[in-house]
């Protein structure tokens, strides 16, 4: 495996670096640097998406006929690396990085023509309706019903842990359209408008104090049969396809490397001369390097037409547990200044209604110390979402080890 970049690839990286430097405003950089969760402030994210869209770079991984680029796998990786190095905020993934792939792969021409341009522009903002109070990692146990009524389905049930439900105007849902002996049968992938009677969003307050996620109740809500993606009763196949994009296939190592490097710089003020902490940082860097080697190996395979496949489960475990470890190191480095609950020191991913900021805006310690525990709290969800890491280990044990 040749890990050297070609002159053409180096030139491409330089072009992306220059473009990002021009487009990233101080406000956007601050939104990324002060983010307290895996998602930045919604307005920051949408502003950044609009700027990238104007440059044709909001969704380069999409098929070219829908607004993407026919780049090589190396170019996709380099673009992700340069975004991380530039300190760019992330874009909410539910539309551009998740359901858009499903629509492109399983949707009708009419669905592609209507939804994809609007997802790209931000006119349509999706949230994800998978988990239910009784169906989390055991997703096939879901019970939200969709009963046919003329040209529509009538929806009853609820979804939970839905990120950005308060901002979304559409939700992609797994719903039960029939019952069979195997629970995976009878599930349909359905797109549902949020702005309608019968849809109620109740924010959930996380341990970080933020209301990024919510529970959604559907009481005789409706969605047109034309909004079914794929075949009725065969949505499980569509859902598994989407999870490959949620669990893996991206370049995570560059962003994690930037986080470790930033922590090393900041910790000089609080942990200088501490050999034990220096050893922990060194081990974290090694783990990032290992992750990068795996991503580059998969990148090389993608260039030969290979699929990420089950490796998405391994990457999901490695990325989320390493990200959690980095937040643990940040809390250790923050020291006593990180003990105060100060969400106002950063830019939370959603409102923190139960904890208004002090009148004088005082922050104890540097901003990175104040937001370290908030990032720690938010990263706890990493090993649960997109299928818990225990489930991913079961997948690997069965598919790779034959257990």
Alpha-carbon dihedral 309, 314, 318, 324, rounded to 10 degrees:
90
Q: CA nearest 349: which of 90, 127, 42?
A: 42
Strands (DSSP E) found in 93-169: 126-129, 145-149, 152-163
- Indicate the SS3 state at residue 335: helix
Task: Give the contacts of 363 (CB within 8 A, at least 6 positions apart).
Answer: 342, 344, 345, 370
Q: CA nearest 191: which of 128, 104, 113?
A: 128
Q: CA nearest 58: which of 377, 333, 67?
A: 67
- Alpha carbon distance 278, 286 (integer Å): 12
Cβ proximity of 151 and 206 under 8 Å: no
Hunting for tokens 């021009």 — which residue is that? Answer: 22
DSSP one-letter code for 149:
E
Structure tokens given for 190: 């359905």
Catalytic residue among 244, 246, 292, 332: 246
What is the number of H-type helices and E-type strands within the chain?
A: 14, 8
- Alpha carbon distance 315, 294 (integer Å): 8
246 noted as active-site residue: yes
Cβ proximity of 254 and 80 under 8 Å: yes
H-state helical runs in 131-252: 235-247
- Give catalytic residue positions: 246
């Amino acid at each position: 495996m040749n890990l050297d970049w070609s002159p053409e690839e180096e030139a491409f990286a330089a072009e992306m670096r220059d473009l990002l430097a021009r487009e990233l405003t101080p406000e956007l950089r601050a939104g990324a640097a002060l983010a307290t969760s895996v998602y930045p402030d919604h307005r920051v994210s949408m502003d950044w998406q609009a700027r990238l869209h104007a440059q044709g770079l909001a969704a380069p991984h999409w098929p070219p006929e829908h607004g993407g680029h026919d780049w090589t796998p190396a170019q996709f990786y380099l673009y992700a690396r340069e975004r991380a190095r530039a300190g760019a905020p992330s874009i909410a993934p539910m539309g551009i990085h998740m359901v858009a792939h499903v629509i492109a792969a399983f949707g009708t021409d009419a669905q592609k023509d209507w939804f994809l341009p609007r997802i790209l522009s931000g006119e349509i903002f999706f949230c994800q309706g998978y988990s239910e109070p009784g169906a989390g990692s055991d997703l096939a146990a879901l019970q939200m019903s969709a009963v046919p009524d003329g040209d529509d389905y009538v929806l009853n049930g609820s979804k939970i842990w839905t990120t950005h439900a308060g901002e979304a105007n559409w939700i992609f849902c797994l719903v039960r359209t029939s019952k069979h002996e195997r629970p995976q049968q009878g599930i349909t992938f359905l797109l549902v408008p949020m702005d309608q009677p019968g849809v109620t969003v109740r924010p959930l307050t996380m341990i970080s104090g933020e209301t990024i996620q919510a529970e959604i109740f559907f009481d005789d809500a409706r969605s047109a049969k034309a909004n079914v993606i794929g075949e009725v009763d065969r949505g499980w196949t569509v859902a598994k396809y989407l999870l490959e994009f949620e669990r893996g296939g991206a370049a995570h190592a560059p962003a994690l490397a930037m986080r470790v490097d930033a922590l090393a710089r900041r910790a000089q003020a609080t942990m200088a001369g501490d050999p034990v902490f220096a050893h922990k940082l060194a081990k974290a860097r090694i783990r990032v390097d290992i992750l990068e080697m795996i991503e580059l190996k998969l990148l090389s395979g993608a260039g030969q037409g290979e699929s990420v496949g089950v490796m998405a489960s391994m990457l999901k475990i490695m990325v989320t547990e390493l990200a959690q470890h980095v937040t643990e190191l940040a809390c250790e480095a923050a020291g006593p200044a990180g003990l105060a609950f100060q969400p106002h020191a950063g830019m939370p991913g959603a409102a923190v209604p139960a904890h208004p900021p002090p009148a004088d805006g005082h922050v104890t310690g540097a901003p990175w110390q104040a937001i370290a525990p908030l990032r720690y709290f938010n990263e706890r969800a990493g090993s649960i979402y997109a299928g818990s890491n225990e489930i991913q280990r079961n997948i690997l044990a069965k598919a790779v080890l034959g257990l």
